[in-house]
Amino acid sequence: MHHGGLHEEAITGKAYDARLFARFARYVAPYRAAVGGLVCLLPLVAVCRLAQPLILKQAIDHAITPGRLDQLTLPALMFIGVLAGESLFGWLEVYGLQLVGQRVMHDLRTALFAHILRLPTRWFDQTATGATVTRLTSDIEALGEMFAAGIITIVGDLLLLAGIIVAMLWMAPSLSLITFTVLPPLAVVAWLFRRNMRQAFREVRARLGRMNGHLAEVIGGMAVVQSFGREQDEARRFTELNAAYRDANLPVISWDASLYALVELFSSLAVALIIWYGGGQLVQGALSFGTLVAFIQYTEKFFNPIRDLSAKYGVMQGAMAALERIFAVLDEAEEGTVSVVPPPPDLRGDAVRPLVAFRQVSFAYRRDEPAISDLNLAVYPGERVALVGESGGGKTTVVRLLGRHYEPDQGGVLLDGVDLRQLPLPVLRQRMAVVLQEPVIFAGTVAFNISLGDAAALQRAEQAARLVGADRFIERLPAGYETELAERGGNLSTGERQLLSFARAVASDPELLILDEATASVDSESERLIQEGVHRLLAGRTALVIAHRLSTVRDADRIVVLKQGRVVEEGWHDDLLSRGGEYARLYRLQFACDGK
């Protein structure tokens, strides 16, 4: 197993917060009425908090200091009332934010996953699985946390801070100005922290993606890891990635703790200034004791949201890094856009129009490394064509181009005379069924795995299973077609999984059947059963068979031999053997290997 490369997460450059917020706001827009209601709660919470020091000031100056205890009843009831109001409005705010946040996360995660399903195969070749999973899970969670504990609550904090400044200036302007002298250095500190925390959060997300990618790779290949005794090496690698993720969090923790401590320092300094200057004013009679107590209360309330700024700022920075990554995926172009292209010339001069035609097709996965070159190939209706050749000869590439998982660099691929680029992907792929060498089984019932949720295919599921011989093992399962299969079909044998994928292809009733090394990984008994079903399946259908075992293509209507992406031979089994060319060489090599 190798690491790095595709597992590396790019750490992007400067982020534009306004642009990111504007895009994120589109997902919040459907809930604008609920958000508006929550915003209306913010002034009510702020008023309840602002009223508490004022009520305390009135109680001290008009009841406690003059010794008129009979005047305490009303302030006490008012104080209890504003506390109850703060609790009620605060609960509604938190509950509403969490509720809307969960709905926004649901919508964004759904949109992101739907977009990922439509991305081209090349994107998945270049992107680590762990990085993709991170975007759909922890990155989305970071946005939910930002919404619930960041954006709206910051607005509430700003309203509270503005109210406190107005109240303090109204009560004692000179003492307010003394108190506010700590704000400029505090603003400088916040600016410095802003510069450093963004990069720290990007690094945290990047290393989390690498660790998730390693986990996905190892868990998916656990059989190989254990068979080759790689447990200690993979554990060591995971320890390194885990330590790197831990170390990436250390700067975040350091900045967070430092900001909290500095805000606490400035808060204590402001209280000290109030006591020093306000105490003198109190002795001189220029300030009441209630005003001094209220100032201290306001100062504490003033610095509480600033003290929480470290946590909220961390949430916001984490969300910014997450937004950058999520929108980077959403900006990736989806596969299979329909375009108008001129038809390639028909060099063969076919009298009968082929169902599938490759005309002067060239394609390379990497520049200067062509997978196929100037390929001309036709498959006629009802014909069974076998593609054979050495590994890397271009056989699987032909299938990928036919399914539009990749687009040709030159030339064109036609289906029933129409260039594939002129067909919508759903229309194209409904006309063909592909059976791969490694069958893909999903967690769900046997019936679901045959039909994949298609109602019409579900009606044909049992008939399809009988046709390919899969009914023999399905009927032995505890609940038959309703038996729940484990992830990746772990409770089935390799042959049973492949038989199930054959039944899936039959149930879809394709116009074109593509078998990509479909019998290469099954045992002889399963292969015999499959071949029996395939002969019945192929009757009246066009088929393109990519074969590893040359013994399976003897009955093909035509055999096409590919070498280094080019057609080097074409004909029937016996005819090609008699020529003594590339096909005969491959047949002799395989016969010699099988004979051992």
CA distance 354 to 377: 10
Return the structure tokens found at 368. 């200067």
Residue type, position 121, single letter: T
- 96 and 37 in contact (C-beta within 8 Å)? yes
Q: Which CATH superfamily is domain 352-431+510-596 in?
A: P-loop containing nucleotide triphosphate hydrolases (3.40.50.300)
pLDDT digits (tens, 9 = 90+) for 320-378: 878 888 988 998 888 766 555 555 555 455 557 889 999 999 999 888 788 998 899 99
For residue 107, the model assigns a pLDDT of: 92
Q: How confident is the model at residue 87 (pLDDT cuts 50, 70, 90)?
A: very high
CA distance 319 to 313: 10
Give 307's contacts (C-beta < 8 A, 6+ positions apart): 260, 263, 264, 267
Which class is domain 5-330?
mainly alpha
Average pLDDT, the chain: 81
Region of poorest pLDDT, from 182-191, 370-379, 480-489, 545-554 = 545-554
For residue 30, the model assigns a pLDDT of: 93
Give 439's contacts (C-beta < 8 A, 6+ positions apart): 489, 494, 497, 498, 500, 501
Backbone angles phi, psi at 545, to 5 degrees: -115, 120
- 326 and 15 in contact (C-beta within 8 Å)? no
pLDDT digits (tens, 9 = 90+) for 223-271: 678 777 788 888 899 999 999 999 988 887 887 778 778 888 888 888 8
For residue 298, the model assigns a pLDDT of: 87
pLDDT over threshold 90, residue 85: yes
- Other beta carbons within 10 angstroms of residue 337's beta carbon come to 10
441-509 belongs to CATH 3.40.50.300: yes
Sequence ranges of the domains in the chain: 5-330, 352-431+510-596, 441-509
pLDDT digits (tens, 9 = 90+) for 535-544: 666 666 788 9
pLDDT digits (tens, 9 = 90+) for 130-178: 778 888 888 888 888 887 766 777 788 888 888 888 988 888 888 888 8
- 96 and 42 in contact (C-beta within 8 Å)? no
pLDDT digits (tens, 9 = 90+) for 562-581: 988 889 999 988 888 889 88
For residue 84, the model assigns a pLDDT of: 95
CA distance 291 to 451: 76
Q: What is the largest CA-CA distance in the chain?
A: 121
Closest CA to 302 of 50, 559, 580: 50
Q: Which residue has the higher pLDDT, 24 or 339?
A: 24
For residue 534, the model assigns a pLDDT of: 64
CA 321 to the chain's CA centroid: 14
Per-residue b or e along 410-429, where b marks 16 or more CB atoms closer than 10 Å to that residue's CB: ebbbbbeeebbbebebeebb
For residue 1, the model assigns a pLDDT of: 45
Q: Would 352-431+510-596 and 441-509 be classified into the same CATH topology?
A: yes
Q: How confident is the model at residue 517 (pLDDT cuts 50, 70, 90)?
A: confident
Q: Do the strands 432-435 and 512-516 form a parallel or antiparallel pair, or are they unpaired?
A: parallel
Q: How confident is the model at residue 187 (pLDDT cuts 50, 70, 90)?
A: confident
